[in-house]
Amino acid sequence: MLELGCGAGGLSVELVRRGAQLTALDVAPRMVELARARAPEATFMVVPAERTGLPDDSFDVAVGKGVLHHVDVPAAASELHRVLRPGGRGAFFENQDRNPLLRVARRRLWGSRHLHWVGTEDEHPLTSADLSALGRHFSVELSYPSFYFFEALSRAMGHRLNGPLKRLDSLVWRRVPAARPWSWHVLVALSR
């Protein structure tokens, strides 16, 4: 199994605990150090997702949490296709840019002095173009495990009104399934 963007190893620990033979990557040496200390059974590398240097067709599964929106998606998709075996699969939990209201809020409000910046300067929520780039190499299936929309606003407000807004997200997710694709989060399943 290949993990892209392992960070401090939270997901790595869980994957190893569940029996995965794991190779995990990140571009931040200090994060890889932390992850290696937490999951010494795994193999860790400090390399970009776009140029791993790993052998062709060497993994059955690739995973990541919040990583694709930090990388050059077309280059990472090409590299992922190269290192996954035929029939290989991937699963990535990501931010997306498909909701026009969240897109406007992110661009106009997130930098305001009254709100807290959520995210980092290098990230870009997945766009339709990013999903198309993935689709050039893989069969892509999108699902929406939650309706993280109003809670995103709470987060930007320093978690004020978090409980009520989180409950509102849950209500919308259950009662208005057609709204799910407008969530901030998306689960991207890939099949080679």
DSSP 8-state class, residue 180: G
pLDDT tens, 69-120? 999 999 999 999 999 999 999 999 998 887 777 767 666 665 555 555 555 6
Q: Is the pLDDT of residue 55 over 70?
A: yes
Residue extents of the structural domains in the chain:
48-98+120-147+181-191
Report the pLDDT value the prediction gives residue 154, as an integer from 0 to 100: 78
CA-closest candidate to residue 8, choices 29, 54, 91: 29
What are the tens digits of pLDDT across the range 138-180?
999 999 998 888 887 777 777 788 899 999 999 999 999 999 9
CATH no. of 48-98+120-147+181-191: 3.40.50.150
- For residues 140 and 183, give the distance between their C-alpha atoms in angstroms, rounded to a whole number: 18
Six token digits for residue 143: 């699902």
Q: Are 76 and 52 in contact (CB under 8 A)?
A: no
Q: What's the CA gap between 146 and 149, in Å, rounded? A: 9
C-alpha to C-alpha distance for 144 and 16, rounded to whole angstroms: 26
pLDDT for 126: 92
Which pTM was predicted?
Answer: 0.88
Across the chain, mean pLDDT equals 90
83 closest CA partner among 116, 49, 114, 113 = 49
φ, ψ (nearest 5 deg) of residue 59: -135, 145
